[in-house]
Structure 1
Amino acid sequence: MTKPTPGKLAGLKAVSDKRGVIAAAAMDQRGSLQKSIAKERGGTATAHDLEEFKVHVTSVLTKHASAILLDPEFGLPAAEHRNKAGLLLAYEKTGYDANTPGRLPDLLDVWSVRRLKEAGADCIKILLYYTPFEDSTVNDLKHAWVERIGDECRCHDIPFFLETVGYDENGGGEKTLVYAKKKPEVVSGSMAEFGKERYGVDVLKVEVPVEMAFVEGTRAFKGEKAYSRAEALQHFRDAESMTHKPFIYLSAGVTNPVFIETLELSAESGTKFNGVLCGRATWYDGIPIFAKQGAKAFEDWLNTTGVENINNVNKALQAATPWYVKFGANSLEELG
């Protein structure tokens, strides 16, 4: 791989720890977070609630993270409380268009890469629902969309993080045995596609290639087998082989113990992943406390359980490989 440009290199360094591993927290949830707070409260959740929640998560967890991922809609006040951690900003609208097939994405109306960079972003993040098994007319729209964003990030010399989340193109849901068996191909195929130079992606933010509840021989196993432990380990290796790009894992809404076991499985496979962007596995269980007991009780929870959760992740990240290795370098200094 060619050496990153000065702006991209600076952005990658800004969101990495001293080892060159991306140990980032994710707090760009919007619609799903609003619904969760409202549900726990038995009422409504306002824009102020979202801003306040994000401020507390950011101010506490960035003491233990290399960076924080926020959204420019409700997260900019939180960006002021990030304890010198790096900043990734989301560029996509929350959710997807449910009125058209294919989970098509959309960008935030009053934002651009230029504006996100001016707002302090070190890196740009995009979420894309993607499966290689989707109709080619749908995927062609998504490919062109990612190409545009890649070119915009190249123009402004800022790193582009692409998060791909798989789905069942037949509408059968993602928690089924059928989908679990298909997931390795969904993840591997997405990594192979968006690792191509034409997209300009600098870091792939990916799901793990297995559904942990279906991996026999794990603590997360629920009794229905999609893969043996040995097969699961091979799926990790196969996914890694699909790209030469740096890649990091997302926590995909699982609990902290499940995510830790997932990272342990990746380490056991020998996969050279380059970090995480971990959200709900660190702060999700605090939502009922925020909704019912208020911000102070939530802050207390974050300072105890939340910190414990993120430290569990950081411990598991000892198995991660610095991203600069993907560029053939032996240190960050070697890249400039």
Structure 2
Amino acid sequence: MPQTISPGRWRGLKTTSTPRHVFSVLAFDQRDNYRKMLPDPTDFAAASRIKAEVVSVLSHHVSAVLLDPIYGLEAVLGMAGSSGLLMTLEKTGYSGDSTARRVEFIDGWDVAKIKQMGASAVKILIYYHPDAGDVAAEIEQVVYEVAEEAHDHDLPLFVEPLSYSLDPGIPKESAAFAEQRPTIVRETARRLGSLGADVLKLEFPIDVTFDNDEGHWQAACSAISETSPVPWVLLSGGVGFDTFAHQVEIACRNGASGFLGGRAVWKEAVTLNTAEREDFLRQIGIARLEQLTEIVNQYARPWTDFYAPIAPIEEWYRVYEPQNDH
């Protein structure tokens, strides 16, 4: 039975999804990795302008855009009014040891400001491994508290957990970690989905470098959908566009509710000059998003399978208050 959610969270999910209640979201909240992609030297103004140029074209062709407060304000102000806005909360990267990763927040930035600027939803990225003991418990508490704060402001929360290896001798890009990955992603969805996240933004559960069996891909995505108590969408994780489009279709045919993808769509554009960038975005970037949106509209599971609005009873506003029901 769908969970009843408050009007702000309902509106936030509606304004970030397509009319079919599935997610077609452009991610451009990258900061350090984004700066590394740009020619040197590129100052703050140029980095902000390039991001804004990409978003001004592509935002007309997605249900929402995910941006950051560091380089993203110009893009926010110039994006399509028809597109929902997600804003990121965390600093880029992580603190702590590479095998015990913790999250830090952007100084001077919080959920209240995200609400105040008119965003539709909050997003937080965390590094998470379900077997990380006290570190995992610490991250779980962070997710719980951020969800509580987002819901206090009646905004939905998108949580993006990235897996990592607990063993320095087993890199994430290794065959040994690839064997663990389906279980890690599935268990992550189960645990974090119960802590107040409204939507999970997840990695593809199979490392396709080591496993090209589509039957395994389908089974792993289906297992997430059976386990997760909330909708999940697929992140692109830096793979090429054709690979990402294939993964989105596999995921959505097996229970995912859409995509939240970035570099797979726009990465070639950021190193071009302004005229070349616009030409690339209009000829290739838009076509990529239209292809992805067609996939999710056809195959993705609507988030309304999970959530329902409050009943429109007489004088509902007298008892209305943001929910903290997690």
2:258 to 275, 298, 307: 275
2:67 to 70, 86, 110: 70
Question: Taking structure 1 as reference, are residues 208 and 48 closer, same or farther at Cα in structure 2, changes over 3 Å only?
Answer: same
Indicate the larger mover: 121-130 or 170-179. Answer: 170-179
2:201 to 198, 201, 205: 205
Report deviation, 1:210: 0.7
2:129/2:188 contact within 8 Å kept: yes
Report deviation, 1:335: 9.1
Pairing of 1:202-241 with structure 2 (within 5 A): 202-216=198-212, 228-241=213-226
SS of equivalent residue, structure 1 residue 212: coil
Question: Taking structure 1 as reference, are residues 83 and 146 closer, same or farther at Cα in structure 2, changes over 3 Å only?
Answer: same
Note the residue ranges of structure 1 that are not aligned, 5 or more in a row. Answer: 217-227
Report deviation, 1:305: 1.4
Report deviation, 1:26: 0.5
- Which residue matches 1:143? 140
Question: Taking structure 1 as reference, are residues 244 and 140 closer, same or farther at Cα in structure 2, changes over 3 Å only?
Answer: closer
- Which residue matches 1:117? 115
> Separation in 2 of the partners of 1:124 and 1:13?
14
- Which residue matches 2:233? 248
> Separation in 1 of the partners of 2:37 and 2:312?
43
Amino acid of the residue matched to residue 30 of structure 2? Q
Residue by residue, what CA displacement relative to the aligned partner does 1:201-232 show, whole Å, maximum 9, x if unpaired? 1111111211122233xxxxxxxxxxx33223
> Separation in 2 of the partners of 1:262 and 1:312?
13
Pairing of 1:99-118 with structure 2 (within 5 A): 101-118=99-116
SS of equivalent residue, structure 2 residue 234: strand
1:60/1:302 contact within 8 Å kept: yes
- Which residue matches 2:33? 32
Amino acid of the residue matched to residue 193 of structure 1? R
Amino acid of the residue matched to residue 204 of structure 1? L
Amino acid of the residue matched to residue 305 of structure 1? I
- Which residue matches 1:222? none
- Which residue matches 1:324? 304
2:167 to 167, 170, 177: 170
> Separation in 2 of the partners of 1:244 and 1:212?
26
- TM-score, length-normalised on structure 2? 0.90
Report deviation, 1:287: 2.9
Report deviation, 1:107: 0.8
> Separation in 2 of the partners of 1:333 and 1:59?
35
2:175/2:210 contact within 8 Å kept: yes
1:30/1:50 contact within 8 Å kept: no
1:44 lines up with 2:27 in the alignment: no
- Which residue matches 1:159? 156
Residue by residue, what CA displacement relative to the aligned partner does 1:124-182 show, whole Å, maximum 9, x if unpaired? 00001111132x11112111111211111121111011011111121332221111111
RMSD: 1.9
Report deviation, 1:101: 4.7
1:275/1:320 contact within 8 Å kept: yes
1:132/1:186 contact within 8 Å kept: yes
- TM-score, length-normalised on structure 1? 0.87
Report deviation, 1:316: 2.0
> Separation in 2 of the partners of 1:160 and 1:266?
21
1:82 to 62, 79, 82: 79
> Separation in 2 of the partners of 1:230 and 1:20?
27
> Separation in 1 of the partners of 2:224 and 2:76?
33
Amino acid of the residue matched to residue 301 of structure 2? T
2:27/2:66 contact within 8 Å kept: yes
- Which residue matches 2:274? 295
**Identical residues among aligned pairs (%):** 30
> Separation in 2 of the partners of 1:179 and 1:319?
30
> Separation in 2 of the partners of 1:287 and 1:174?
27
2:99/2:165 contact within 8 Å kept: no
Report deviation, 1:333: 11
SS of equivalent residue, structure 1 residue 12: helix
Higher RCO (C-alpha 8 Å, min separation 6):
2
